[in-house]
């Protein structure tokens, strides 16, 4: 385990690259990108794909909203529980 144990207890997911926690919607963004084995926070995803975090989230949201199998779980997530809202915008607050 990493040194982020206390933090991990509070957050549903942790980035495989930097250990940063991320919310369920960012997890769905990972899945929309075909990342099923690993999960990355939005900052690491955007670095990997050469986009801003905002553009990355918009890109994933375009994918999610066009597919019911992604949109259903996305809508069920309570975005107000996103851990990032305490510190910064997570760009996960899209809904239809």
Burial of 83 (0-12, 13-18, 19+ CB in 10 A): middle
Q: Applying CB under 5 A, which of residues 18, 55, 58, 66 lies at the interface with Zn ion?
A: 18
Among 28, 56, 64, 90, binds Zn ion (CB under 5 A): 90
Tell which positions 43-62 bind Zn ion, by CB under 5 A. 44
State which of residues 28, 56, 77, 82 lies at the interface with Zn ion (CB under 5 A): 82
DSSP state of 60: H
Q: Which stretch binds Zn ion (CB under 5 A): 28-36, 49-57, 66-74, 84-92?
A: 84-92
Q: Is 4 exposed, middle or buried (0-12, 13-18, 19+ CB in 10 A)?
A: middle
């Amino acid at each position: 385990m990493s040194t982020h144990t206390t933090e991990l207890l509070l957050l549903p997911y942790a980035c495989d690259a930097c250990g940063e926690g991320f919310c369920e919607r960012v997890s769905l963004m990972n899945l929309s990108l075909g990342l099923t084995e690993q999960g990355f926070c939005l900052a690491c995803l955007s670095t990997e794909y050469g986009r801003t975090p905002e553009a990355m989230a918009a890109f994933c949201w375009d994918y999610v909203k066009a597919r019911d199998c992604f949109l259903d779980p996305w809508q069920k997530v309570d975005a107000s529980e996103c851990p990032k809202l305490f510190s910064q915008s997570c760009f996960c607050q899209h809904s239809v």
